[in-house]
Structure 1
Amino acid sequence: MDIRPGRRNYRGMTQDADALIVGGGLNGPATALALAGAELRVALIDAAEPDVRMDPGFDGRAYNLGLASRRFLTVVGVWDEIGPQSQPVREVVLEDARPGERAVAALAHFDHDEIDEGPAAQIVEDRVLRPALLRACQAHPRIAIHAPATVLATRRDDAGAEADLSTGETLRAPLLIACDGRDSPLARAAGIRRTGWGYDQTGLVCAVEHEKDHQGVARQRFLPGGPFAVLPLPGGRRSSLVWTERTAEARRIHALPDADYRAEVEARMGGALGAVTLAGKRWMYPLKLSVAQSWIAPRLALVGDAAHAVHPIAGQGLNLGLRDAAALAEVLAEAKRRGEDIGASLVLERYQTWRRFDGVSLALGMDAVNRLFSSDDPALRLIRDAGVRLATALRPARRAFMREAAGVSGDLPKMLRGERV
Structure 2
Amino acid sequence: MTGNDSTDKRDLVILGGGLVGMTLALAAARAGITSHVVDRADPAELTAEGADGRASAISTASWNLFANIGLGDRLDSLGCPIEAIAVTDGMKPGRLDFRPRADEGSLGRMFANRDLRLALFEAARDEPAIAWHTRTEAVRRDRGPYGVAVELSDGKVLKGSLLVAAEGRQSPTRDEAGFALARWDYRHRAMVTALYHEKPHQGVAWEIFYPAGPFALLPLLDAPDGRHRSALVWTVAEKDAAGVIKLPDAVFLAEVADRMHGVFGAIELAAPRMSYPLRFHHSGKLIGERLAVIGDAAHGMHPIAGQGLNLGLRDVGVLVEVLAEGMRLGLEPGDAQLLARYEKWRSLDTFMAMSVTDGLTRLFGIPGRLPSAARRLGMGAVQRLPMLKRVFMNEARGMSGKLPALLRG
Q: TM-score, normalization: structure 2? A: 0.95
Q: How does 1:180-329 map to 2 (within 5 A)?
A: 180-235=167-222, 237-329=228-320
Quick one: which of 155, 162, 182 aligns to 1:168?
Answer: 155
- Compute the displacement of 1:58 (Å): 6.9
CA RMSD of aligned residues (A): 1.5
Give the whole-Å Cα distance in 2 for the aligned partners of 1:215 and 1:60. 21
Distance in 2, matches of 1:57 and 1:83, equals 22
Contact in 2 for aligned 1:223/1:375 (Cα 8 Å): no
Residue equivalent to 1:5: none
Number of residues paired by the alignment? Answer: 400
Residue matched to 1:28: 21
Q: Please state how far the C-alpha of 1:304 moved relative to its aligned partner.
A: 0.5
Moved more, 200-209 or 103-112: 103-112
| Distance across 2 between alignment mates of 1:283 and 1:356 | 31
Distance 2:383 2:128 in 1: 48
Task: Give the structure 2 partner of residue 81 of structure 1.
Answer: 74
Aligned to 1:362: 353
Establish whether residue 127 from structure 1 lines up as the match of residue 114 from structure 2.
yes
Whole-Å separation in 1 of the counterparts to 2:241 and 2:256: 12
Deviation of 1:248 after TM superposition, in Å, equals 1.5
1:405 counterpart residue number: 396
Q: CA deviation at 1:342?
A: 1.5
- Provide the rounded CA distance (Å) in 2 between the counterparts of 1:94 and 1:118: 20
Task: Give, in whole Å, the separation in 1 of the partners of 2:100 and 2:246.
Answer: 38
Q: CA deviation at 1:388?
A: 1.9
Q: Encode CA deviations 1:207-262: one digit per residue, 9 max, x unaligned.
A: 11011111111100001111111001001610000121111212211111111111
* Counterpart residue identity of residue 415, structure 1: L
Q: Which amino acid aligns with 1:110?
A: F
TM-score normalised per structure 1: 0.92
The within-5 A match list for 1:92-171 is 92-97=85-90, 104-113=92-101, 116-171=103-158
Question: Percent identity of the aligned residues?
Answer: 40
CA distance in 2, matches of 1:370, 1:251: 22
Q: Deviations over 1:139-181 (max 9, x none)?
A: 1121110001111110001011111101210000010001101
Which residue of 61, 66, 70 maps to 2:59? 66
Give structure 1 stretches of 5+ with no counterpart.
1-13, 98-102
Structure 1 counterpart of 2:4: none
Match status 1:385 vs 2:376: yes
C-alpha change, 1:208 and 1:295, in structure 2 (3 Å) is same
Q: Select the residue among 366, 371, 374 that pairs with 2:362.
A: 371
CA distance in 1, matches of 2:399, 2:22: 23
- Matched AA of 2:181: R
Deviation at 1:305, TM superposition (A): 0.5
AA matched with 2:372: R
Q: Is the 8 A contact 1:195 1:292 kept in 2?
A: yes
2:3 alignment partner in structure 1: none
The list of structure 1 runs, each at least 4 consecutive aligned residues, that deviate by more than 4 angstroms after superposition, is none
Listed one character per residue, the Cα deviations across residues 334-382 of structure 1 (whole Å, up to 9, x for unaligned) are: 1111111220221100000011111111112111100110122211111
